[in-house]
Chains A and B, each alone.
Chain A
Amino acid sequence: MSDITTRALLRLYPRPWRARYGEELTGLILQASGGSPSLLLKMDVALGGVRERLRVIGLLGNDLTPGDRARSGVLVVMWSWMLFVLGGIGVEKAAEHWQAAVPPASARLGEVAFAVLIAAAVTGLSVTGLLALSVWAQHLSVAQRNGGNDAYGAAVLCWVVLFAGCLFCWAAAAASTARHLNPTPRLLVLETRLAVAVTATMAAMTIASSIWWATVARSAPWFLSGTAPRTPGTVAPFNLVIPVAFMLSATLLASMGARSARRNVRSIASGPSLS
Chain B
Amino acid sequence: MREPRQASARVNDPPVLILTSLASGPKHGYALMQDIEGFSGVRLGPGSLYGAISRLEERGLIEPLGAVSRTRPYQLTSAGRQALEATIAGLRAVVDEATTRLAPPPQAALAGGDA
Q: Which residues of A contact B (CB under 8 A)?
A: 17, 20-21, 23-32, 40-41, 43-49, 51-52, 61, 63
Q: How large is the interface on B (under 10, 10 to 19, 20 to 34, 35 or more residues)?
A: 20 to 34
Query: Would you call B54 an interface residue if the criterion is a C-beta within 8 Å of the partner chain's C-beta atoms?
Result: yes
Is A27 touching B29 in the complex (CB atoms < 8 A)? yes
Tally of A-B Cβ pairs under 8 angstroms: 70
What per-residue 1/0 map shows which CB atoms of B42-68 lie under 8 Å from chain A?
000111111101110010000000001
Instruction: Given A31-B30, A41-B45, A61-B1, answer yes or no on A26-B70 (Cβ-Cβ < 8 Å).
Output: yes
Q: Output the nearest chain A residue to B64 by Cβ-Cβ distance.
A: A24
* Sample of 10 further A-B pairs with CB below 8 A, known A17-B54, A24-B72, A45-B47: A21-B53, A21-B54, A24-B68, A26-B70, A27-B71, A28-B33, A28-B50, A31-B30, A32-B46, A44-B48
Is A48 touching B48 in the complex (CB atoms < 8 A)? yes
Is B45 touching A40 in the complex (CB atoms < 8 A)? yes
Q: Which of B1, B50, B71 contacts A21 (CB 8 A)?
A: B50
With A and B bound together, what is the CA distance between A30 and B30 in angstroms?
10
Q: Output the nearest chain B residue to A29 by Cβ-Cβ distance.
A: B46
Query: Would you call B100 an interface residue if the criterion is a C-beta within 8 Å of the partner chain's C-beta atoms?
Result: no
Is A32 touching B33 in the complex (CB atoms < 8 A)? yes
Minimum distance in angstroms from A169 CB to a CB of chain B: 44
Q: What's the dominant secondary structure at chain B's contact region? A: helix
A sample of 14 cross-chain residue pairs with beta-carbon separation below 8 angstroms, ordered by A number, consists of A23-B68, A24-B50, A24-B72, A28-B50, A32-B33, A43-B45, A44-B45, A44-B47, A45-B46, A47-B48, A49-B47, A51-B47, A51-B51, A61-B55
Is B46 touching A48 in the complex (CB atoms < 8 A)? yes
Minimum distance in angstroms from A32 CB to a CB of chain B: 6
Is B51 touching A28 in the complex (CB atoms < 8 A)? no
Is B72 touching A28 in the complex (CB atoms < 8 A)? no
Is B30 touching A48 in the complex (CB atoms < 8 A)? no
Q: Output the nearest chain B residue to A33 by Cβ-Cβ distance.
A: B46
By a CB distance below 8 angstroms, the chain A residues around B1 are: 61
Query: Would you call B99 an interface residue if the criterion is a C-beta within 8 Å of the partner chain's C-beta atoms?
Result: no
